[in-house]
Amino acid sequence: MRVAAFLLLLAPLTVTAAEVEGVRIDDKTRVANAELTLNGAGLRKRVFFKVYAMGLYVAQKSSNAATLVEQPGPKRVAIRMLRDVSADTFNEALADGIRANHSEAEAKALEPRVKELGAIIAGVGEAKKGMSINLDWTGSETQVVIQDKPAGKPIAGPDVYRALLRIRLGDKPVQDDLKRALLGG
Protein backbone atom coordinates (compact mmCIF):
# COMPACT_ATOMS: atom_id res chain seq x y z
CA MET A 1 0.00 0.00 0.00
CA ARG A 2 2.78 2.43 0.92
CA VAL A 3 4.63 1.63 -2.30
CA ALA A 4 1.51 2.42 -4.37
CA ALA A 5 1.02 5.73 -2.55
CA PHE A 6 4.68 6.59 -3.06
CA LEU A 7 4.44 5.81 -6.79
CA LEU A 8 1.34 8.02 -7.09
CA LEU A 9 3.27 10.88 -5.52
CA LEU A 10 6.08 10.44 -8.04
CA ALA A 11 3.78 10.23 -11.08
CA PRO A 12 3.45 14.01 -11.56
CA LEU A 13 7.24 14.29 -11.47
CA THR A 14 7.71 11.99 -14.48
CA VAL A 15 9.44 13.77 -17.34
CA THR A 16 7.36 13.57 -20.52
CA ALA A 17 9.68 15.51 -22.79
CA ALA A 18 13.37 16.16 -23.30
CA GLU A 19 15.11 19.45 -22.72
CA VAL A 20 18.22 20.34 -24.67
CA GLU A 21 19.96 23.63 -23.86
CA GLY A 22 16.69 25.04 -22.52
CA VAL A 23 14.69 23.94 -25.58
CA ARG A 24 11.75 21.67 -24.84
CA ILE A 25 11.52 18.69 -27.18
CA ASP A 26 8.06 17.11 -26.90
CA ASP A 27 7.81 13.37 -26.31
CA LYS A 28 5.21 12.92 -29.11
CA THR A 29 4.36 14.53 -32.43
CA ARG A 30 2.23 13.81 -35.49
CA VAL A 31 3.32 13.51 -39.10
CA ALA A 32 0.93 12.42 -41.87
CA ASN A 33 -1.71 11.39 -39.30
CA ALA A 34 0.74 9.07 -37.54
CA GLU A 35 1.66 9.53 -33.91
CA LEU A 36 5.42 9.46 -33.47
CA THR A 37 7.51 9.07 -30.33
CA LEU A 38 10.72 10.86 -29.46
CA ASN A 39 13.54 8.36 -29.98
CA GLY A 40 16.22 10.73 -28.69
CA ALA A 41 17.29 14.35 -28.52
CA GLY A 42 20.64 16.08 -28.50
CA LEU A 43 22.75 19.12 -29.20
CA ARG A 44 24.61 19.92 -32.43
CA LYS A 45 27.83 21.76 -31.74
CA ARG A 46 30.36 23.14 -34.15
CA VAL A 47 33.72 23.67 -32.51
CA PHE A 48 32.47 25.31 -29.27
CA PHE A 49 29.32 26.94 -30.71
CA LYS A 50 25.91 25.48 -29.87
CA VAL A 51 24.12 25.35 -33.23
CA TYR A 52 20.79 23.59 -32.65
CA ALA A 53 18.80 21.24 -30.47
CA MET A 54 17.43 18.23 -32.31
CA GLY A 55 14.90 15.49 -31.72
CA LEU A 56 14.28 12.36 -33.76
CA TYR A 57 10.70 11.04 -33.89
CA VAL A 58 9.75 7.58 -35.13
CA ALA A 59 6.86 5.11 -34.89
CA GLN A 60 8.96 2.41 -33.20
CA LYS A 61 11.80 3.46 -30.89
CA SER A 62 15.16 1.78 -31.43
CA SER A 63 18.76 2.19 -30.36
CA ASN A 64 19.94 0.73 -33.69
CA ALA A 65 20.82 3.38 -36.28
CA ALA A 66 20.28 1.14 -39.33
CA THR A 67 16.86 0.09 -38.02
CA LEU A 68 15.82 3.74 -37.63
CA VAL A 69 17.08 4.74 -41.07
CA GLU A 70 15.21 1.87 -42.77
CA GLN A 71 12.09 1.94 -40.56
CA PRO A 72 9.00 2.40 -42.77
CA GLY A 73 6.40 5.06 -42.16
CA PRO A 74 6.48 8.71 -41.13
CA LYS A 75 9.40 10.22 -39.22
CA ARG A 76 10.51 13.66 -38.12
CA VAL A 77 13.82 15.35 -37.48
CA ALA A 78 12.95 18.39 -35.36
CA ILE A 79 15.57 21.14 -35.30
CA ARG A 80 15.40 24.17 -33.00
CA MET A 81 18.02 26.77 -33.85
CA LEU A 82 20.23 28.07 -31.04
CA ARG A 83 22.10 30.56 -33.26
CA ASP A 84 21.74 32.18 -36.69
CA VAL A 85 23.04 30.03 -39.56
CA SER A 86 23.13 31.14 -43.19
CA ALA A 87 21.49 29.00 -45.87
CA ASP A 88 24.91 28.58 -47.51
CA THR A 89 26.41 27.18 -44.30
CA PHE A 90 23.40 24.90 -43.79
CA ASN A 91 23.63 23.60 -47.38
CA GLU A 92 27.41 23.10 -47.17
CA ALA A 93 26.93 20.99 -44.03
CA LEU A 94 24.20 19.02 -45.82
CA ALA A 95 26.49 18.30 -48.79
CA ASP A 96 29.42 17.37 -46.51
CA GLY A 97 27.22 14.98 -44.51
CA ILE A 98 25.89 13.32 -47.67
CA ARG A 99 29.43 12.84 -49.06
CA ALA A 100 30.71 11.43 -45.75
CA ASN A 101 27.99 8.76 -45.51
CA HIS A 102 27.47 7.72 -49.14
CA SER A 103 29.55 6.39 -51.97
CA GLU A 104 30.30 8.72 -54.86
CA ALA A 105 27.67 6.95 -56.99
CA GLU A 106 25.03 7.19 -54.23
CA ALA A 107 25.76 10.89 -53.70
CA LYS A 108 25.50 11.49 -57.46
CA ALA A 109 22.12 9.70 -57.59
CA LEU A 110 20.85 11.86 -54.69
CA GLU A 111 22.14 15.10 -56.19
CA PRO A 112 18.94 16.35 -57.94
CA ARG A 113 16.81 15.95 -54.81
CA VAL A 114 19.51 17.31 -52.52
CA LYS A 115 19.57 20.37 -54.80
CA GLU A 116 15.77 20.67 -54.37
CA LEU A 117 16.25 20.60 -50.61
CA GLY A 118 19.07 23.13 -50.89
CA ALA A 119 16.83 25.44 -52.90
CA ILE A 120 14.16 25.28 -50.18
CA ILE A 121 16.75 26.14 -47.53
CA ALA A 122 18.17 28.92 -49.74
CA GLY A 123 14.63 30.32 -50.04
CA VAL A 124 14.52 30.69 -46.28
CA GLY A 125 17.76 32.68 -46.41
CA GLU A 126 18.92 32.29 -42.85
CA ALA A 127 17.92 29.94 -40.06
CA LYS A 128 17.47 32.38 -37.19
CA LYS A 129 17.99 31.67 -33.51
CA GLY A 130 14.73 30.27 -32.10
CA MET A 131 13.48 29.06 -35.50
CA SER A 132 11.74 25.70 -35.73
CA ILE A 133 12.72 23.52 -38.70
CA ASN A 134 11.20 20.08 -39.18
CA LEU A 135 12.33 17.60 -41.79
CA ASP A 136 9.34 15.29 -42.15
CA TRP A 137 9.07 11.97 -43.96
CA THR A 138 5.38 11.43 -44.69
CA GLY A 139 5.87 7.86 -45.85
CA SER A 140 6.16 8.94 -49.49
CA GLU A 141 7.98 12.28 -49.54
CA THR A 142 10.18 14.66 -47.59
CA GLN A 143 8.58 17.92 -46.49
CA VAL A 144 10.48 20.82 -44.95
CA VAL A 145 8.36 22.58 -42.33
CA ILE A 146 9.52 25.95 -41.01
CA GLN A 147 7.76 27.58 -38.08
CA ASP A 148 4.97 24.97 -38.49
CA LYS A 149 4.37 25.89 -42.16
CA PRO A 150 5.40 23.76 -45.17
CA ALA A 151 8.26 25.32 -47.10
CA GLY A 152 8.75 24.49 -50.77
CA LYS A 153 7.26 21.51 -52.50
CA PRO A 154 7.63 17.98 -51.11
CA ILE A 155 10.61 15.95 -52.37
CA ALA A 156 9.77 12.46 -53.63
CA GLY A 157 11.76 9.34 -52.86
CA PRO A 158 12.70 7.62 -49.62
CA ASP A 159 16.43 7.68 -50.40
CA VAL A 160 16.75 11.43 -49.80
CA TYR A 161 15.20 11.14 -46.32
CA ARG A 162 17.38 8.14 -45.50
CA ALA A 163 20.36 10.24 -46.60
CA LEU A 164 19.30 13.01 -44.21
CA LEU A 165 19.12 10.49 -41.37
CA ARG A 166 22.53 9.03 -42.24
CA ILE A 167 24.10 12.48 -41.79
CA ARG A 168 23.35 12.11 -38.07
CA LEU A 169 23.08 8.32 -37.71
CA GLY A 170 25.44 6.98 -40.38
CA ASP A 171 28.86 5.38 -40.05
CA LYS A 172 30.45 8.84 -40.18
CA PRO A 173 27.93 10.99 -38.32
CA VAL A 174 28.30 14.74 -38.19
CA GLN A 175 28.83 14.41 -34.42
CA ASP A 176 29.27 11.17 -32.44
CA ASP A 177 27.61 12.34 -29.21
CA LEU A 178 24.62 13.69 -31.17
CA LYS A 179 24.23 10.27 -32.80
CA ARG A 180 24.28 8.59 -29.37
CA ALA A 181 21.70 11.06 -28.06
CA LEU A 182 19.36 10.52 -31.04
CA LEU A 183 19.64 6.76 -30.49
CA GLY A 184 18.29 7.35 -26.99
CA GLY A 185 21.66 7.10 -25.24
Do 110 and 102 meet the contact criterion of CB atoms below 8 Å apart? yes
What fold is seen in the domain 16-182? Chalcone isomerase (3.50.70)
Per-residue pLDDT of the chain in tens (185 residues, 90 and over written 9): 443 333 334 433 334 578 999 999 999 999 999 999 999 999 999 888 999 999 999 999 999 999 999 999 999 999 999 999 999 999 999 999 999 999 999 999 999 999 999 999 999 999 999 999 999 999 999 999 999 999 999 999 999 999 999 999 999 999 999 999 999 97
pLDDT given at position 126: 92
Give the residues across from 19 on adjacent strands.
Answer: 24
Q: Are strands 28-31 and 34-46 parallel, antiparallel or unpaired?
A: antiparallel
Residue 159 CB neighbour total at 10 angstroms: 14
User: What's the whole-model pTM score?
Assistant: 0.89
Return the axis-axis angle of helices 158-169 and 104-124, rounded to nearest 10°. 90
Q: Domain locations in the chain?
A: 16-182
